[in-house]
Structure 1
């Protein structure tokens, strides 16, 4: 738990802060050793990650759930028609109508709704139903009483235990949601009851995670798609697994011989806190979070949490009078006041006086009078937190891709969506470069990392289409 033990003489010069006092540089060196991870350390984490995947495939596990999605088909890319989807994330909800063109392409009409605090804590499913109603009415798509119900795919980005393609029991909440009375209940039934209360003729054809949706969206346009990943507010991955390797699967083997598995990898190491590189700043975040000792891996690599880790580091330095001359503010002292997007801006601020960082410290965080050294230290914090997130993100990728080495002998696509992958400076490059250290070059060259924007919405519609076709056969 002590983090990295990299010797001081090996520390990269990028983490030398020009103009810093000896005490300030010593503190930055401590952070550098904690946040920079050697390949040896990462290799040990990958090994344990793979072991936990096997445990989750053998039996229901409290760490890596390895949720069986019941998606056993691959789209051909030749399907056509319009299908509906609900995409529920950590901060927003989208309702979509997706039109498939039969050539691997899709267009969509959608509306986005911001999740209010009331929905996050009490009225989530009624809020979703109201958004569906608004979308259907605004686009004149509401089915009449004489028409058959609309089939809709439901991307539900929270851990569920699935017994069928259109049912899923909530395991626990993540990403800031805490709606009471839902854990242990079927989220499809909760949503359909809310839709019924509004008199909407809408049936949920399939419930899937955002990673399963991302994978299927990519698979519609690319037959080589093997894995879907989210690196955003939260994180998770899904992949096609050989059913013969899923010991806990008790149903009839599908004709395809494979099933999409949602790893729920955000929970990795949540039980022991034994293998991930925890620092005091991670421990503080976890202890004060809504889900202590939960989602340990997610808390080190996801957009919801990185800003908070950096804020904890700032306060640690300020308490020693090594940053901002020991000053803080009501904003800086408030949890979650430093959004991860500010770290993205800081990491690429190359102006002579670090003007963007000055704006963040003095205006956003309300701590006036920052020095250039203060700003340089802030930039170093942003780089360290972001680089650790990117390198740790490679852990799950490598563990999953090497789970089926037979597939690495031919081209495969990893579909990736999410704000961290898309916007955090250097994240995608560092993640891919780190992964290349653990996969033989001849196999790594067959892997294509493909940005799949909005995949969770399109994919839900694709799965609704596949599930509806299956039910009609």
Structure 2
């Protein structure tokens, strides 16, 4: 096994892999395939920084670097009652956020299910449904009798060409949504029209990307927050950029020193220049709904990690090096090996790896597994998970170096199931940063879990947008 992987992986591995020479050789080969050396990390950071600069200079760059139109930072002293709306998956979340000052806040929220019919029907019907949900929420909370408009921040987690703090045209649908009559249209105007038809005293003050929301939410509690990162089903990041560096800004002069920028970093290295893609990654990419796009996201986020591991396991099965060459109907299905299973397997500290056995035999219906089989599966999960954390560290390192935050330090607000639940993910990210910048970085940079930060963040941005001079 390579020196890097023996150093990085064995630190949190309970069992070494025994087995035949062929099995050991295969595991060593896979370890090498997923290795990201310190030299690789530095190369990736260098390319990331070049792509950041390109995205700030011109429209249409691979790493898009989209200005958020959010001016200034929250101080934590803001007060007031604001609404937040979060749409981006199966659930619609409506929040009433009461900012109390002194970085204190109370949040009341309610979730509503978005049916498949609404996801693929007319956009007007989806907007009317959202308005009905907001109406129901306000009525239940007694906020429907207010004379003045409630200001709302709308977290809309789809690609949007934003032209103002409260204006943005939908570029394309993702995540299973495909509503008719929406692409190329201003989603704020469409939803505001539905609010008016329902006679709701609600004004959409801002449309918000979830990374920017995460940054602002954490900023209300911690003024040292400089980045907002999503490491969950998908991945993205936002950070504060100096206006003088946003060379492509073409919306007139503004008198603010900085603005939050939505990086859309999941597209990094679509050109395949610096990240080594394994055959297992290439198979996943070919079979995805967007081949050759979102390459970085496909290597580090929860939607994809389990599928990469599944591809490795099937390769070993085909070589009769795992499960005696026997698979199952369940394991043969695309996406069947969930990233949550990887978390369970990586965390399995039982002597006989019984938790791993449960996943393989009871859930995935593998006929039978040996201890050696389970040890190999655990190693495969570790290789995929460690690589994801180290590649994530490269993205963080690029922003830290770009913003000269290595010496000064900052807080990085992170939301998402991979960061929160995947074993050792945060530790392995920090290990990557130490290799890049030295051990002192651990005392300079802090990771802060910002669970469901987009709700609070959207409300904070609605407050800031309502009170700020218009761009």
TM-score (normalizing by structure 1) = 0.91
Cα offset for 1:411? 4.2
Cα distance in structure 1, aligned partners of 2:273 and 2:130: 38
| RMSD over aligned Cα atoms | 2.4
Cα distance in structure 2, aligned partners of 1:444 and 1:189: 45
CA displacement, residues 33-84 of structure 1 (integer Å, 9 cap, x when unaligned): 1112101111111111111111100011241110110001212211111110
| Equivalent residues of 2:410, 2:446 under 8 A apart | yes
| Equivalent residues of 2:54, 2:61 under 8 A apart | no
TM-score (normalizing by structure 2) = 0.92
| Equivalent residues of 1:167, 1:188 under 8 A apart | yes
Q: How many residues align structurally?
A: 463
| Equivalent residues of 2:243, 2:256 under 8 A apart | no
Cα distance in structure 2, aligned partners of 1:324 and 1:175: 34
**Cα–Cα, structure 1 residues 442 and 310, in superposed 2: closer, same or farther, change >3 Å?**
closer
| Equivalent residues of 2:78, 2:100 under 8 A apart | yes
Cα offset for 1:415? 1.1
Written as runs of structure 1 = structure 2, the 5 A alignment for 1:283-362 is 283-362=282-361
> 1:231 is matched with which residue?
231
| Equivalent residues of 2:71, 2:464 under 8 A apart | no
**Cα–Cα, structure 1 residues 177 and 101, in superposed 2: closer, same or farther, change >3 Å?**
same
| Equivalent residues of 2:17, 2:24 under 8 A apart | no
| Equivalent residues of 1:111, 1:135 under 8 A apart | yes
Written as runs of structure 1 = structure 2, the 5 A alignment for 1:155-174 is 155-174=155-174
Written as runs of structure 1 = structure 2, the 5 A alignment for 1:194-205 is 194-196=194-196, 198-205=198-205
| Equivalent residues of 1:67, 1:160 under 8 A apart | no
Cα offset for 1:348? 1.1
Cα offset for 1:443? 6.0
Written as runs of structure 1 = structure 2, the 5 A alignment for 1:268-279 is 268-270=268-270, 272-279=271-278
Cα offset for 1:174? 3.9
TM superposition outliers: structure 1 runs of 4+ over 6 Å: none
Q: Which runs of 5+ in 2 are unaligned?
A: none
Cα offset for 1:179? 4.1
Cα distance in structure 1, aligned partners of 2:207 and 2:399: 23
Cα offset for 1:143? 5.0
Q: 2:413 pairs with 388, 412, 415, which one?
A: 415
> 1:447 is matched with which residue?
445
Cα offset for 1:171? 3.0
Written as runs of structure 1 = structure 2, the 5 A alignment for 1:370-385 is 370-385=369-384
**Cα–Cα, structure 1 residues 292 and 352, in superposed 2: closer, same or farther, change >3 Å?**
same
> 2:20 is matched with which residue?
21
> 1:3 is matched with which residue?
none
Written as runs of structure 1 = structure 2, the 5 A alignment for 1:26-65 is 26-65=25-64
Q: Which runs of 5+ in 1 are unaligned?
A: 1-6
Q: Between 173-182 and 229-238, report the one with greater CA deviation.
A: 173-182
**Cα–Cα, structure 1 residues 287 and 114, in superposed 2: closer, same or farther, change >3 Å?**
farther
